[in-house]
Amino acid sequence: MNPLERGRNLLHNVRTGTQNAVEKTQQTVGNAVGAVKNTVAEGGQRVGQFVDGFENKAADKARALGGLFGGSKPDRVYDGHLVGAAGQTFPPGTPLSQVPGVTPRNNPNPTQTFVYVNGISNDKDAQFRSMQQIADATGGKVIGVHNATEGMVADLAQCVKDKLDKGHNPAVDSLADTVYSELKAGRSVHLMAHSQGGLVTSRALQDVANRLRIEDGMSKSQVEQLLGKVNVETFGGAAGHYPDGPKYVHYVNNKDIVPTWFGQGNGKGLDDWALRDGGKGAVVRRFEHGSGINGTHGLNDAYLPQRVPFEQARAGK
C-alpha cells in the first residue's frame, strides 16, 4: 500500500472512530434523558427536587411540570433577547447603550455594567430577579442576555449540545454579537454567567474569536489581545473549556455537582480526564458551602456571597 492510500485509510479510521464516539455520546445522553422522563413519571415531588438542584424552588418547578415535554412554552420568544430594567426585553443585536439596565436599589447611577447570562430552567422573570440580586451585590448596572427555558428536559438536552458545540442556541448568537460589537467599537465588556450560562458564554466567546480570525483576518495573538478587553465571571458554570484571551474568574463550590462534574472540576486531581481549561491565566476560586443541590448551586444563596471585586479576585485576595 502506497503512502497516499495509507493516509486515506488513516483518515477514514479517524472519521469512523469520531462518528462512533459521537453516536455513543448521543446514546448515553438519550439514556440520561429517558431516566429524567421516568423520574417525572414517578412523581412531581421528585422532579421538583431535581430541578431545584439546578435553579429554582421545588414548588415552582412542580407547578411547571405541564410544560416539560410540550405544550405552551412562552419563554421561548425571549430566547437571546436582552433584558433590562423592569424586565423589559430588547431584540438581539440591540446595542448595550440602548438598554436601560437594572441598577442597585441604593445607587441609580452606577459606573460599571455587567452582562449576565442565566442558567437552566430560568424564565425571563427569574433572570430579572437574579439581575437585581447581582446589581445589589456588586453595585453595578446589569443587562441580561436571556437563555430561554423550554422545560427541564429540553434545557438539559440543550446543555448537552452546548457541551458538544452543536446546534443553534439563540442566546449564544446574541451574546457573541454583543461582545463582538462592543469590542469593534473599542469598548470593554464584563460578563457574568451562572450554570448553563457558562456554556453559553464559552461558546459565544469562541464564536467571537473565530469571527475575529476569519472575518477580520486577525492572527491568534491579535485575537487574544483584543479579547483581553473582556472580563468574565462564572458562578457554578457548567463549561469545562474557555478560549484564551479574556480575563477569567471562575467560582466553584466544591459541594456543587454542576461545576465539579461538568465545569472546572473539584481541584483535587480527580478530574484530570476531562482536561479542564478555564482559559489562559484563569483564576478559580473554590469554596465549600451549603447542603443539598439547591443550597450548593443557587446564585444568590451559594455564589454571590462568595464574590469579591473582580481585580481583587484576579489578584488572589
Q: Is the pLDDT reported for residue 134 higher than 50?
A: yes
Dist. CA 310–CA 253, nearest whole Å: 18
Residue whose C-alpha is closest to residue 173's, from 214, 206, 216: 206
What pLDDT shows up at residue 317?
83
Q: Is the pLDDT reported for residue 206 higher than 90?
A: yes
* Residue 151: band (very low, low, confident or very high) from pLDDT cuts 50, 70, 90: low
More confident: 166 or 56: 166
| 150: number of Cβ within 10 Å | 18
* Residue 268: band (very low, low, confident or very high) from pLDDT cuts 50, 70, 90: confident
Dist. CA 120–CA 79, nearest whole Å: 12
| 175-190 burial code (b ≥16 CB/10 A, e <16) | bbbbbbbbbeeeeebb
Average pLDDT of the segment spanning 55-66: 38
Dist. CA 287–CA 301, nearest whole Å: 13
* Residue 175: band (very low, low, confident or very high) from pLDDT cuts 50, 70, 90: very high
Q: Is the pLDDT reported for residue 66 higher than 80?
A: no
Q: Is the pLDDT reported for residue 61 higher than 50?
A: no
Backbone angles phi, psi at 239, to 5 degrees: -95, 135
Average pLDDT of the segment spanning 80-107: 97
* Residue 245: band (very low, low, confident or very high) from pLDDT cuts 50, 70, 90: very high
**HSE-up of residue 213 (Cα within 13 Å, Cβ side):** 11
What pLDDT shows up at residue 94?
97
More confident: 57 or 248: 248
Question: What average pLDDT is seen over the chain?
Answer: 80
More confident: 223 or 8: 223
* Residue 73: band (very low, low, confident or very high) from pLDDT cuts 50, 70, 90: confident
* Residue 255: band (very low, low, confident or very high) from pLDDT cuts 50, 70, 90: very high
Instruction: Report CA-CA distances (Å) from 200 to 4, 11, 104, 175.
Output: 41, 32, 25, 8
* Residue 216: band (very low, low, confident or very high) from pLDDT cuts 50, 70, 90: very high
pLDDT digits over 288-297, tens only?
A: 999 987 799 9
* Residues pairing with 251 in the sheet: 235, 285
Please check whether residue 119 is in contact with residue 196, taking contact to mean a CB–CB distance below 8 angstroms: yes
* Residue 100: band (very low, low, confident or very high) from pLDDT cuts 50, 70, 90: very high
Q: How far is residue 111 CA from its own chain's centroid?
A: 25
Dist. CA 75–CA 155, nearest whole Å: 12
Counting Cβ atoms within 10 Å, is residue 303 exposed (0-12), middle (13-18) or buried (19+)? buried
Backbone angles phi, psi at 169, to 5 degrees: -130, 110
Contacts of 309 (CB under 8 A, 6+ apart): none
Contacts of 38 (CB under 8 A, 6+ apart): none
| 265: number of Cβ within 10 Å | 23
What pLDDT shows up at residue 44?
36
Instruction: Report CA-CA distances (Å) from 23 to 10, 16, 20, 43.
Output: 20, 11, 5, 31
Query: Beta strand 113-117 with 189-194: parallel, antiparallel or unpaired?
Result: parallel
3-state secondary structure of 156: helix
Contacts of 185 (CB under 8 A, 6+ apart): none
Residue whose C-alpha is closest to residue 237's, from 276, 210, 179: 276
As its CATH architecture, domain 70-314 has 3-Layer(aba) Sandwich (3.40)
3-state secondary structure of 246: coil
19-23, 72-76, 174-178: the lowest-pLDDT one: 19-23
